Structure 1
Amino acid sequence: MSFWENFWDIFWWFIYVYAFFAFLFALFVIISDIFRDKQLNGWLKAVWLVFLAFLPFLSVLVYLIARGKGLTERAAERARQNREATNAYIREAAAASPTEEIAKAKALLDAGTISPAEFERIKSSVLV
């Protein structure tokens, strides 16, 4: 067997493996989208899963054609919700408690760095 025959066997093997993993990725994305979609009722979810089990390649193509736009919209909405939740958590974790803010402002007032009016303004903004 020559080098080039062996090379092309390896090349095609990599192509087949790549296609298989791409198909598996698409299949798992579709299955997760089916379960996360609140608009589909249980029967439609079951029908999609049965088709994915018995006619996987055809079902993946049909799903992507029929529901592909909705899939991307739902994924974008989930990403936005996750980003908002993460940002809210970061703000909550990074922000000092109102008592800490008032204590810092009181220390600045006692040191003479801020005036009593500024202290009251800080205190009222923290307590709101």
Structure 2
Amino acid sequence: MSDGRQTMDYPLLNVFWTTMWIFLWVLWLMLLFRVIGDIFRDDSLSGWAKAGWCVFVIVLPFLGVFVYLMARGRGMGRREMKRVEQAEEEFREYVRGTAGTSHAEELSRLVELKNHGDITAEEYERAKAKVLAA
């Protein structure tokens, strides 16, 4: 007698193999995109070399990626480190450029403006109060 329920017959070992193949497929896609990204970001390659590597990686993906990793794999890490260092330096420059000056620097700038006669004593006192209040 059937009560209308269906049972799934998918053994645990099959679940393991399916999970492993999905994991390897995702890993392969990540590696493929990493290689393609490195090809386009590498400034030392000419346009023709980039086109050749792309065709090789797209037409024969497994062979293309493995040959690329053997031929240029060591440089991938160096180029990535160089990009990270450059981005970090640009970020630090941005922070230095946009960070506010200290209160002492502001007050010294105000004193110079007052001494040169660019602002009056009253304007100096108001600006000084603003700086000290901040």
**Paired residue for 1:102, among 106, 117, 124?**
106
Partner SS for 1:95: coil
Partner SS for 1:38: coil
Using the alignment, how far apart are the partners of 1:71 and 1:65 within structure 2? 11
Deviation at 1:29, TM superposition (A): 0.9
Counting matched residue pairs gives 105
Using the alignment, how far apart are the partners of 2:104 and 2:97 within structure 1? 14
**Paired residue for 1:43, among 40, 48, 53?**
48
What percent identity do the matched residue pairs reach?
A: 38
Using the alignment, how far apart are the partners of 2:46 and 2:109 within structure 1? 55
Deviation at 1:101, TM superposition (A): 2.3
Using the alignment, how far apart are the partners of 1:102 and 1:42 within structure 2? 51
Q: 2:25 aligns to what?
A: 20
Deviation at 1:103, TM superposition (A): 2.6
Structure 2: 5+ residue runs without aligned partners? 1-6, 112-134
Q: 1:29 aligns to what?
A: 34
After TM superposition, what 4+ stretches of structure 1 lie above 6 angstroms from structure 2? none
TM-score norm. by structure 1 comes to 0.71
Using the alignment, how far apart are the partners of 2:106 and 2:8 within structure 1? 81
Deviation at 1:96, TM superposition (A): 1.7
Q: Which amino acid aligns with 2:31?
A: A
The CA RMSD over aligned residues, in Å, is 2.6
Using the alignment, how far apart are the partners of 1:14 and 1:33 within structure 2? 29
TM-score norm. by structure 2 comes to 0.68
Q: Which of the two has higher C-alpha Rg?
A: 2
